[in-house]
Structure 1
Amino acid sequence: MPAYLQNIAGSGRSSRKSPVAQAPIISGMVPCNVIADEILTDHPDRYRAMLVESANPVHSLADSNRMREALRSLELVVVIDIAMTETARAADYVLPASTQYEKWEATFFNFEFPENYFHLRKPLFEPLGDSLSEAEIHCRLLEASGDMPLALIDELREILKREGRAAFRDRFMAAMSEDGMIAKLAPVILYRTLGEVLPEGAAEGAVLWPLTLNFALRDSDSLARAGYEGDPNEQADKLFDAIIAGHSGITFSKDDMQTVWSRLGNEGCIQLVIPTLLEELQVLEAGPVDRANTEFPFALSAGERRD
């Protein structure tokens, strides 16, 4: 279990259900093949609009024709993507995003041991045409809707300019404790404040700042072994600055096996039991199902890896 900057999946535990199909919402995600069922109904809580970002459900999900019908029945569909996909063609509005070569970008699928690495990639080219980074698109949508806390942003800009990052951190944390919505808007607020003063126009990297702080509070020893000394706040600032400046990637943690075992929690076990999956596995006890069909005498299995 290596150290991580961002938990990309969460615990998975949730009692939430989708409004129509009552499908379990796992790690904040609705099972993709019930999306059409959540739309093509007269249920009062059916989905009425969708914002689709960097995804192509009309092409990628089961029953493309039904998904296309579902999107066309929505009151509003907005797509943010780098390409004019099948889903984009079914949308009311398409907001063109710049490619990974034209914006600051990173991946959080980094699970190296004993040293773990992170790479904030610098853009190679200027954005093509009127395309924008997703971060800029998100900000402009919030600003146009009137939901951006402009007064707080002005205050944070002034604090950052006159008093520095430590005072900025204190005011930002206080604002989140005072208003839960500020925490939800944190990425765009940081983009419009801290992001504006980062070197080389690395505004998209501002969202990494709270991640480095959370990591320092959670795994200070791992950071120290990787060379980031000081209290958690000092470690976080050093790590953040290193990420922004390290165009070839940086080492953000260094662990030993004892540290890995400590991440298993109080029970000291890896949780493999997933009740929902066990229920599905019980179906196999009845034996193989005869799927022979003279009209379609073959089985298509797609999306599997065999390496």
Structure 2
Amino acid sequence: MATTIEFNGSAFPSIILRDDLTQTWNNIRLDSLPPVESEPLLKFLELIEYEKLENFNPDSVLLVKASSCVMQAVYAAAIFRDGESIVLKLGDNQFPITQKGDLLHCGKLKGKVVVTEEEDLSGNKYPKATCSFVSKNRDVFRVPIQLASRDLNLTVADVEATVINEEPILSLLRQVPGNSFKMHELGVGEYQLHSYISSSDGEYGTVYKLHLLDGRTVLSRGNVTILLESGWRPNPEKPLMLVISRIEKLAENKFTVDCALRERLPMLGASTRPVVTVDAHSRTVPEPELVTVGVNDSLEDEIPY
């Protein structure tokens, strides 16, 4: 008999009993779940062909947010964008998804997008989307689709029109979450960006994230934040650059950064001589060999995805 499976918090009740959730974000191993919880997840993994995924990590198939060892939320399978690709994220693992017409394909599964209208506590309506993947034996796996509703001001009609017209859904999706770099960690240089900007609510207001072409994200600050808070957004028809011209270290883990956005391509071979200030003593960097474009070799090993 065919069954419908959803990987939400109620699918993993054993996590409520755990007292080893010592971090804010906790990775859950597949073999740490009881069989009644792990078997449907393992079945799903086999159908999306986890064995073909390079560096599959069985020690991170779920992500649990906790406080004082008490579970707050469980994050299982969800669909995002990763740059110019659609991916299914499961713990620390990402699986490629392809779109053909109005169908999404992941491994041996194919599914259709279903759009509904939800309402938040303030009465504001927003679109919610899921993909119902079906296997050959007719089991259905419902996976949430993470829409960039707030960033793009999406309506149900926007999403439904895209699905019905069999248009690519990539542009409607949120960027896959990951560790974001701070600007001073990138270093002085020019970095080419995607035209979309993501945002979320932080402790001190809205947090904006810029998305580099190499897949990394960086937190906005200074001039960039002022520009975004004014309501300005990039024109997708124009190139976009993050320019970091100066970094000053004031104290341990405290930096000032001069930065701006530019609607142009990188200026390779630029003759500017950026000033990097370390421990409040300025020094001019003599004859930089080239302007960094999108990749900083010293940070490659820290790229989360």
TM-score (norm 1): 0.29
Greater gyration radius: 1
More strand by share: 2
More helix by share: 1
Greater relative CO, 1 or 2 (CA 8 Å, sep 6+): 1
